[in-house]
Amino acid sequence: MSARDRLLMFGERLQRAQLWLSVVALVALMMVTVVDVFMRYLFNRPVRGSFDAVEGLLLVFVFNSMAATFFGRRNVVIDLIDTFVPRRVAGWLIRVTDVLSVGVLALLAWAMLGPAMQSYGYGELKQDLGLPIFILWFVAILSLAGTIFCAAVITAAGPSPDPSATAGQPE
């Protein structure tokens, strides 16, 4: 097995783990919301901290689900140019957009470090649950690091020779 194949296999496992984490977060988010609405309307006793819980679970869902999108090359693409240029040029454009995607994700992670450190320094807490906000920043940055890794693996793997195939999954 080549180094490229091992890297793709590790990236596949990472994005699947992140995808399952996002699925669990989404299910938990929906259940908290349903129980909160049920308790509020039937017993006039909403779930304490449901707003904070939904906010944190949404963060886990969004930042972990991005890895599968990048790894499967399922980003929103406007491919007007691809029909007019040779396949080789289209492959080059895919590589350029892959590199730009990794760069933008890295820039986003770098921009998140400042507010995360500030939150840690100030000791900010969530209003209802009393959860330190820097933990949410840590989860977001860690999840984004996994997404950056998956996007970088796909960038290193290059475009698939088959235009209908996704880069992360052999067909």
- CA 28 to CA 35: how far, in whole Å? 10
On whether the CB atoms of residues 60 and 142 are closer than 8 A, the answer is no
Q: Per-residue pLDDT tens for 107-138?
A: 999 999 999 999 999 999 998 889 999 999 99
Which residues are within 8 A (CB) of 118 and not within 5 positions of it... i.e. 6 or more apart? none
Q: Per-residue pLDDT tens for 52-88?
A: 999 999 999 999 999 999 998 888 877 788 888 898 8
- CA 18 to CA 66: how far, in whole Å? 9
What is the Cβ-side half-sphere exposure of residue 107, based on CA atoms within 13 angstroms?
6
User: Measured between alpha carbons, how far is residue 80 from residues 72, 90, 144 in Å?
Assistant: 21, 10, 30
Q: Is the dihedral of CA 20, 159, 93, 163 positive or negative?
A: negative
- CA 4 to CA 168: how far, in whole Å? 11
